[in-house]
């Protein structure tokens, strides 16, 4: 029994590392994109709202692409699995397009077209890597596994900030090439080591396919899954998607608009402003695993609500102490709070899924909520900035955060009535 348990723990740690590597591969370009694409746009566009709208373009695409591709991967059956074929094809193409972005910046139409193509390709595999977590990891351990995934994602934010500080001001093309190279190296390792056809969820899905192959049963489509959530008398899943949308809006605004905030409100250079998020990335790494453990012990929804409140308080702090140092401290505190949501929200959604056959679809729906927030947040907060000015941007973000906290508190009340231990 002890040997078997030790072997299971070893396999869990191995696959957690490899799934984290998959997310690291894709986020290596996304984080740098969010940091340095806005200044490229601002060379042509003065309105913060328009810049925010264009920065949300990738998230708008994700709203349509990600649930479809997640559902498509759920129904894929190959000897390599149902997720890996999409990753090994999409990531190299996205890396190549990413390298082109700074070379297209002289022309606004060409820049927007290149950004659109990168976002289109990158969105086709964005939810798939995270879907590997419920494929391989048991429900009770998913928060810890997802914490490792989020740590990997945060490491890419540190890489993006470091590249911004040391290379952007003088070597922009090289700066864009580095995250693309990281993506290629990471997917090379992942493609050589992972076969998700061996995952418990894939095996369960195949077994379920065999049970229903002679029955009159259609494969679940994205709209079928969504309508099932809408019709459910328990509103927990629907409200959770709303909370993801709202907090995603606040988080995306705090990341996508931080570089212009640094230049406009704090008087920093573009490269220095791009590095504002570096210490907060370290804070995220430190807090991610404890946030998962606390959530497993005290309830995921409760920890999420507390963390979101900390995030809101940090935005107020940054508004009061409006200096580069004060903003850096505020972002670190905000990251510790946001970690509680980012580590646990998707786990709650996975654990509410009715079948292993729809893990990819649920991952896609999570990313739709998050992408929807990524699209609305920068544009909404950017419009508020156009009215209130850059110095009050962090306070604008606080307002959006408060709405998301209200929704999570409501979900907690619903869950206390039904008490589904795994979901909570």
Structural contact between residues 292 and 396, judged by C-beta atoms closer than 8 angstroms: no
Integer Cα distance of 370 and 375 in angstroms: 9
What's the pLDDT band for 424 if we cut at 50, 70, 90? Answer: low
The CA-based angle 105-176-191, given to 5 degrees, is: 130
Hey, is 352 helix, strand or coil? coil
Tell how far CA 399 is from the center of its chain: 21
Residue 77 DSSP class: -
Burial class (CB in 10 A: 0-12, 13-18, 19+), 209: middle
For residue 422, the model assigns a pLDDT of 47
| Mean pLDDT across 23-31 | 81
Q: Residue 23 above 90 pLDDT?
A: no
Q: Residue 2 above 60 pLDDT?
A: no
For residue 1, the model assigns a pLDDT of 46
Integer Cα distance of 334 and 253 in angstroms: 13
What's the pLDDT band for 296 if we cut at 50, 70, 90? Answer: confident
Percent of the chain whose predicted confidence (pLDDT) is above 90: 21
Burial class (CB in 10 A: 0-12, 13-18, 19+), 327: buried
Q: How does pLDDT run across 3-16, given as a tens digit for each residue?
A: 556 666 677 778 88
């Amino acid at each position: 029994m002890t040997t078997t348990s030790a072997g299971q723990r070893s396999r869990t740690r191995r696959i957690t590392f490899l799934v984290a590597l998959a997310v690291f591969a894709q986020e290596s370009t996304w984080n740098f994109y969010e940091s340095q694409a806005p200044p490229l746009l601002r060379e042509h566009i003065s309105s913060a709202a328009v810049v925010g709208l264009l920065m949300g373009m990738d998230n708008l695409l994700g709203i349509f692409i990600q649930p479809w591709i997640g559902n498509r991967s759920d129904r894929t059956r190959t000897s390599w699995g149902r997720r890996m074929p999409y990753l090994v094809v999409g990531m190299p193409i996205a890396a190549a397009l990413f390298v082109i972005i700074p070379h297209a910046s002289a022309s606004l139409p060409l820049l927007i077209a290149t950004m659109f193509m990168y976002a289109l390709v990158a969105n086709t595999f964005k939810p798939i890597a995270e879907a590997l977590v419920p494929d391989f990891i048991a429900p009770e351990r998913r928060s810890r596994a997802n914490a490792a995934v989020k740590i990997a994602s945060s490491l890419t934010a540190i890489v993006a900030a470091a590249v911004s500080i040391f290379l952007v001001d003088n070597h922009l093309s090289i700066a864009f090439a580095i995250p693309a190279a990281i993506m290629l190296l990471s997917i090379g390792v992942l493609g050589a080591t992972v076969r998700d056809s061996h995952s418990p969820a894939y095996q369960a899905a195949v077994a379920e396919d065999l049970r229903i192959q002679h029955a009159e049963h259609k494969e679940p489509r994205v709209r079928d899954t969504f309508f099932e959530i809408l019709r459910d008398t328990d509103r927990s899943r629907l409200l959770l998607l709303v909370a993801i949308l709202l907090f995603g809006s606040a988080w995306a605004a705090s990341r996508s608009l931080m570089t212009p905030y640094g230049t406009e409100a704090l008087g920093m250079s573009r490269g220095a402003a791009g590095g504002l998020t570096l210490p907060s990335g370290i804070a995220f790494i430190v807090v991610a695993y404890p946030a998962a453990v606390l959530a497993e012990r005290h309830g995921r929804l409760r920890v999420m609500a507390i963390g979101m409140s900390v995030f809101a308080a940090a935005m107020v702090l940054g508004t009061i102490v409006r200096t580069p140092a004060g903003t850096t401290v505020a972002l670190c505190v905000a990251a510790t709070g946001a970690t509680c949501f980012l580590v646990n929200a998707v786990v709650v959604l996975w654990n509410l899924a009715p079948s292993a056959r729809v893990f990819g679809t649920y991952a896609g729906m999570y990313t739709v909520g998050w992408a929807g927030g990524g699209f609305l947040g920068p544009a909404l907060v950017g419009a508020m900035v156009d009215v209130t000015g850059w110095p009050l941007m962090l306070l604008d973000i606080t307002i959006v955060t408060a709405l998301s906290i209200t929704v999570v508190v409501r979900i907690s009340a619903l869950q206390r009535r039904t008490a589904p231990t795994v979901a909570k």
